[in-house]
Amino acid sequence: MEEEADTGVSSRAERKALEKAKILKRESEKKIFRLVGRVLKKPEAERSEDEAAVLLLHRETVDELCKRQVRRNVLKRKQEEVFDDADELKSKVRQLAMAVKQAKHVVLYTGAGISTAASIPDYRGPNGVWTQLQKGRTVSSSDLSKAEPTLTHMCVRMLHKEKLVQHVVSQNCDGLHLRSSLPRHALSELHGNMFIEVCTSCTPVREYVRLFDVTERTSLHRHGTGRRCSHCGGELRDTIVHFGERGTLEQPLNWKGAAQAAEMADVILCLGSSLKVLKKYACLWSMNRPASKRPKLYIINLQWTPKDVLAVLKIHGKCDDVMSLLMEELNIQVPVYDRAEDPVFSLAAPLRQEEVDSHTREVIAPLDGQEDCLPGSGEQAEEATAVQGGWFGRGYGKGRKKKKKAA
């Protein structure tokens, strides 16, 4: 028994000694990395003999720090916004216009970049949500219901109306494609729509379009909005597909329409998207076909995208600027967004009396501004505050968690 006890004590002591040795080794490595890092920051001519000896002694650390710096520089270049000069931009737009005219089936993939002109921030641009969080800055936003369709949204609608674009696949949750009067059968909102809540207890799924952002109480894996279906009494849920989730709703996601459009496409035009998420959806890219039989890819974005190497043409310009030139080349008049014709008012379902105060988000008001006549106009949101709740705030929360973990 005494021998067993001695063995137990010995093994515990060995484990502790081993753990201590590991900790000391990590601390030693950190000190070496810090020392070498300080030396590398100095110009070579200003380094002392001792510092030069340190670099020679720790060649592996030097190599690792140099590799890290190269990766940082590459990432920085990818995040930089590049602008084509005026002449180059016009030349590229002419090429794009020719491709659109000659194509039989054009599909548009749109991202956050088409909504920045509506004061909705993107994620990876210089002022994007992720970018600001990485710099340790607070992300704020006014109620996103205040946004209206941009020039690009109206151009997209007209391209579809003129039968030059057959389908639009959007990553955006802001509902601006729908509000621009783009027909729903021609639209796939892959990540949901902030104005739509549904009852999944009903068969088929029952949809309720609202005049306010329904995502106030929702987040990752928690989609209940707090309101009830007027037909079966089941809890309503939002349609947002958060980071790490897989969308299963037929509408407004319309994955079937997106996949069929991608299969038929001979031209894909990507507008204002980093494509870092869309690239993961294999069914949108026909990568199972030989390169010569895939759709021709055109990209309009200021920053690098992972699909640039596959693109026939990359246009570095703001979406509104490029689309304005494109519509001129195609000789198509672009209407200004008219709130009086916004389909959201005719689609909207009124709240029940007991649900009038079930939200605090701002309600989209008609032109006369008489918000008290709108269904469920409840208390309104106040001045712009730090982003909280909902699909937009979810990204904010995710970014903060990453930042804390890194720290």
Given this model, what pLDDT does residue 136 score?
52
Given this model, what pLDDT does residue 330 score?
96
Given this model, what pLDDT does residue 385 score?
33
Rg (CA), the chain: 27
Contact between 160 and 183 (Cβ < 8 Å): yes
Is 229 annotated as a binding-site member? Answer: yes
Given this model, what pLDDT does residue 387 score?
36
From-to residues of CATH 3.40.50.1220 in the chain: 86-191+252-346
The residue assigned the tokens 């980071």 is: 243
pLDDT beyond 60 at 179? yes
Average pLDDT over residues 290-316: 94
Residues forming beta bridges with residue 188, ordered by sequence position? 169
> Phi and psi for 164 in degrees, rounded to 5?
-95, -20
Record the pTM: 0.77
CA 276 to chain centroid = 9
The residue assigned the tokens 């009903």 is: 202
Within 10 Å of residue 342's Cβ, how many Cβ atoms?
A: 21
Share of the chain above pLDDT 70, in %: 81
pLDDT category at 133 given cuts 50, 70, 90 is very low
CA gap 297, 303 in Å, rounded: 16
Given this model, what pLDDT does residue 64 score?
87
Share of the chain above pLDDT 90, in %: 48
Judge residue 249's burial from the number of C-beta atoms within 10 Å of its C-beta, 0-12 exposed, 13-18 middle, 19 or more buried. Answer: buried
Given this model, what pLDDT does residue 398 score?
47
CA gap 18, 335 in Å, rounded: 73
pLDDT in tens, 16-69: 888 888 898 889 888 888 888 888 888 888 888 888 888 888 888 888 888 888
CA gap 255, 389 in Å, rounded: 26
Is 232 annotated as a binding-site member? Answer: yes
pLDDT beyond 70 at 280? yes
Within 10 Å of residue 302's Cβ, how many Cβ atoms?
A: 20
pLDDT beyond 80 at 10? no
CA gap 36, 55 in Å, rounded: 7
The CATH architecture that domain 86-191+252-346 belongs to is 3-Layer(aba) Sandwich (3.40)
The residue among 266 and 129 whose pLDDT is bigger is 266
Given this model, what pLDDT does residue 128 score?
47
CA gap 102, 298 in Å, rounded: 14
Average pLDDT over residues 276-286: 90
CA gap 349, 104 in Å, rounded: 38
CA gap 123, 276 in Å, rounded: 11
Contact between 200 and 188 (Cβ < 8 Å): no
Catalytically active residues are 191
The residue assigned the tokens 């990204």 is: 395
Sequence-ordered strand ranges (E) for 229-283: 235-238, 267-271
Is 199 annotated as a binding-site member? Answer: yes
Is 283 annotated as a binding-site member? Answer: no
